[in-house]
A and B are shown apart, each in its own frame.
Chain A
Amino acid sequence: MNAPTSTLVSLHGVSKVFTNGVTALSGFGLDIRTGEFLSLLGPSGCGKSTVLRLIAGLAEPTAGHVTWPGSAHEDHRSEIGFVFQEPTLMPWANVADNVWLPLRLRGLSRRDAQERIAESLALVGLQDFAKAYPRELSGGMKMRVSIARALSLKPRLLLMDEPFAALDEITRFKLNDDLLKLQNELRSTIMFVTHSVYESAYLSSRIAVMSPRPGRILAEVAGETPGPRTRDFRTSPRYAFLCGKISQILLEQDAEERA
């Protein structure tokens, strides 16, 4: 594993005020390092999703900068894969055509995209479901399609917005492990938004804990190195320690707010 040192994306002094006057973020600063698995953990409504949208260029910061230090390009959208909380598939198109969408928007014909579609589906273990329609799939499988779609452009940075929040715990555990394996194979950087202490502790090489609105970073916790976890990691003292440490930060913040 190469040491994750260089910075891929840097957010500096970022504030976001929506047109309805709500301040989602204020003075938000965070560096995303190449190759890491960074979790953004915080309560609902603290602006986690807004951070992802700012990085993806789907929204503009009111103040501050989002920069890509290692890249001279203006447009970074081809380097980003985005996975929403909902699978967000097109119900009228089959699995392969759904994965095709980003490629199609880039001007690739179905024939030219065929190889990439098959590759992406194989990565998430859905190679036998290319012809299936979304309604025929379970929630977990739909999410896999959504991930395959995000991977179809071979992004350097995968942004995931609470992707497994709507799934049952058993499916979520399975997808957590698959995601770690996937990152190990693709060597991509993942930024993962979640409100689950346990999920962030399990997945991440670094956990950034956010405060309630207006969101800013409260503390950072170092997790495990990226890559697959051992079988007993979920029951290990190290995992329990991580969960405890993160929970403690959240509790302290809560106490501070009440005081």
Chain B
Amino acid sequence: MAASSNPLRLVLPLLIFAAAIGAWEAAVRLQAIPPYILPAPSLIGTTMVADWPLLQASLLTTLKTTLLGLALAVLGGVFLGVVLSLSRIVEYSLYPFAVVLQVTPVIAIAPLLLIYLPQDVAVLACAWLVAFFPVLSNTMLGLQSVDRNLMDLFALYGAPASRKPFARLRSQLKALWYLRCPAALPAFLAGLRIAGGLSLIGAVVAEMAAGSAGAGSGLAYRIIESQYRLNIPRLFAALVLLAAAGIVLYLLLAGISHLLLRRWHESALGHEG
């Protein structure tokens, strides 16, 4: 039974989507709702085409922030996760701060960041902050989830247990590379999928905070600006692009995850099972 090859799974949501758009279009036309209250989907489409140069530039700005924020979050999260997994002392001293970072609503830090940092750096920092923690916590969880027996095998067949710190570190790094990293991959990729969405949210939140301070050019800024100018069709067009960016990002990360795990991990096998 291959669930994903069932055409209904693709056709049904598309039908619902088309029906909803059609109903929206019909409602706007039949009741003659003015476009500054609710624009018809067709008008949003034409606005998208007409304002494309402007919207495209904004889309690129937001995407750049999101992807760069995500990349930095992955680098930082994986690096810190590995360091924390190697040393208890480092873990005890740093992990609580990472949690504090996570539970603080970042939108509250955004205005501060905007004061201390140049605007584009502040927006990037915001995207990085929200995407960082899921990567870190999932990487750590994954690194600790190695089968105990496999670690025993490692102790049995690996280099003799040594009390010298350097030799111990070397054997720890070996275990990290042979066992912990592959074992951590599924959890890390799950964290990456979450972080991708959060990074976009972080970028939007920071752009909005920055936008209300009077500068910016990302999609979220376009939304704020359109709101002030009552250019509701453009606001919708920007919203559609943001949603599309989120979907594409998710599909991309899910695709990477499937590609890396398809040979062996349960989560990637559900479709074939």
User: Measuring CB to CB, which residues of chain A are less than 8 angstroms from any residue of chain B?
Assistant: 53, 56-58, 75, 77, 80, 82, 84, 86, 88, 90-93, 101-102, 104-106, 133-135, 153
Is the CB of B269 closer than 8 A to any CB of chain A? Answer: yes
* A77 in contact with B264 given A86-B149, A92-B182 (CB within 8 Å): no
Q: A90-B179, A101-B157, A134-B264 are in contact. Are A58 and B152 (CB under 8 A)?
A: yes
* Complex Cα spacing A249 to B155, Å: 36
- Given A88-B147, A90-B182, A105 and B263 touching (CB < 8 A)? no
Q: Mark B220-256, 1 if CB is under 8 A from A, else 0.
A: 0000000000000000000000000000000000000
Contacts A/B (CB < 8 Å), 17 sampled: A57-B156, A58-B152, A77-B156, A82-B152, A84-B152, A88-B153, A90-B183, A92-B182, A92-B183, A92-B185, A102-B156, A102-B157, A105-B157, A105-B159, A133-B263, A135-B266, A135-B269
How far is B174's CA from A24's CA once the two chains are assembled, in angstroms? 32
Interface size on B, as a range, is: 20 to 34
Given contacts A88-B149, A90-B182, are A56 and B263 in contact (CB under 8 A)? Answer: no
B264 near A101: Cβ-Cβ < 8 Å: no
Q: In the bound complex, how far is the Cα of B269 from the Cα of A102, in angstroms?
A: 28
* Among A80, A91, A104: residue with most chain B CB under 10 A: A91
B271 within 8 A of A: no
B178 within 8 A of A: yes
Assess A91 versus B155: contact at CB under 8 Å? Given A75-B160, A84-B149. Answer: no
Measured CB to CB, the nearest residue on chain A to B174 is A105
Q: Does B24 contact A (CB under 8 A)?
A: no
Nearest neighbor of A106 in chain B, beta-carbon distance: B157
For residue B265, CB closer than 8 A to chain A, the reply is yes
Contacts of B178 in A (CB 8 A): 101, 104-105
Alpha-carbon distance between A95 and B153 when the two chains are bound, in angstroms: 16
Return chain A residues, CB-CB under 8 Å to B174: 105
Q: Is the CB of A88 within 8 A of B264?
A: no
**Chain B nearest CB: distance from A74 CB in Å?**
9
- Neighbouring A residues of B179 by C-beta, 8 Å: 90
B270 is an interface residue with CB less than 8 A from chain A: no
The residues of B that contact A153 with a CB separation of less than 8 Å are 157
- Give every chain B residue within 8 A of A92 (Cβ-Cβ): 182-183, 185, 263-265
Nearest CB in chain B to that of A152: its residue: B157
Which residues of chain A come closer than 8 Å to B266, judged between CB atoms? 135
Kindly provide the distance from the CB of B124 to the nearest chain A CB, expressed in whole angstroms: 34
Whether the pair A91, B264 counts as a contact (CB closer than 8 A) is yes
Tell me, yes or no, whether B158 is within 8 Å of chain A by CB: yes
- Cβ of B15 under 8 Å from chain A: no
Q: How far is the CB of A100 from chain B (nearest CB, A)?
A: 11
Cβ proximity bits B130-157 to A, threshold 8 Å, 1 near / 0 not: 0000000000000000010110111111
A135 and B156 contact, CB distance less than 8 A: no
Chain A residues, CB < 8 A from B265: 91-92
Q: Which residue of A lies closest to B269 (CB)?
A: A135
Annotate B169-183 by CB proximity to A: 1 below 8 A, 0 otherwise.
000001000110011
Considering only CB atoms, which chain A residue lies closest to B159 in the complex? A105
**Which of chain B's residues has its CB closest to A135's CB?**
B264
A102, chain B: closest CB distance, angstroms? 4
| With A88-B149, A90-B182: A82-B264 Cβ-Cβ less than 8 Å | no
How far does the Cβ of B164 sit from chain A's closest Cβ, in whole Å?
Answer: 16
Contact A102 B149 (CB under 8 A): no
A167 to B174, CA, bound (A): 33
If A88-B147, A88-B150, A92-B185 touch, does A133 touch B156 (CB 8 Å cutoff)? no
Complex: how many Å from CA A134 to CA B265? 10
